[in-house]
Amino acid sequence: MPKIEVNKVNTVGGHSDCVYTLEKGPETNQFFSSGGDGVVALWDLNEMDNGRMIVKVPSSVYALFYYAERNVLVIGQNFDGIHLVDLAKKEEVGSISLGTSAIFDVKVIKDRIFAALANGEVHILDITTLETIHVIQASEKSARTIAISEDLGHLTVGFSDNYIRIYSLIDFSLVKEFEAHKISVFTVQYSPDQRYLISGSRDAHLKIWDTQKGYELHESIVAHMFAINHLVFSPDGKHFVTCSMDKSIKVWDAETFQLLKVIDKARHAGHGTSINKVLWTNFNNLLLSASDDRSISIWDIKF
- pLDDT the model gives residue 79: 84
Q: Which neighbouring-strand residues pair with 243? A: 230, 249
- pLDDT the model gives residue 231: 98
- pLDDT the model gives residue 62: 97
Separation of alpha carbons 291 and 276, rounded Å: 5
Read off the amino acid at residue 42: L
- pLDDT the model gives residue 192: 96
User: Against a cut of 0.75, is the pTM above it?
Assistant: yes
Separation of alpha carbons 273 and 95, rounded Å: 33
Q: From residue 100, how far is each of 95, 97, 263 by CA, in Å?
A: 14, 8, 37
Residue pair 168/153 in contact (Cβ under 8 Å)? The answer is yes
Residue pair 61/74 in contact (Cβ under 8 Å)? The answer is no
For each successive 10 residues of the chain (303 residues), what is the average pLDDT? 87 94 97 97 91 92 98 93 94 93 97 97 97 96 98 98 98 98 97 97 97 98 97 97 97 97 88 96 97 96 94
- pLDDT the model gives residue 1: 59
Q: Is 199 helix (H, G, I), strand (E, B) or coil?
A: strand
- pLDDT the model gives residue 269: 84
Separation of alpha carbons 47 and 29, rounded Å: 10
Say which residues have a Cβ less than 8 Å from residue 89's Cβ, sequence separation at least 6: none
Read off the amino acid at residue 272: G
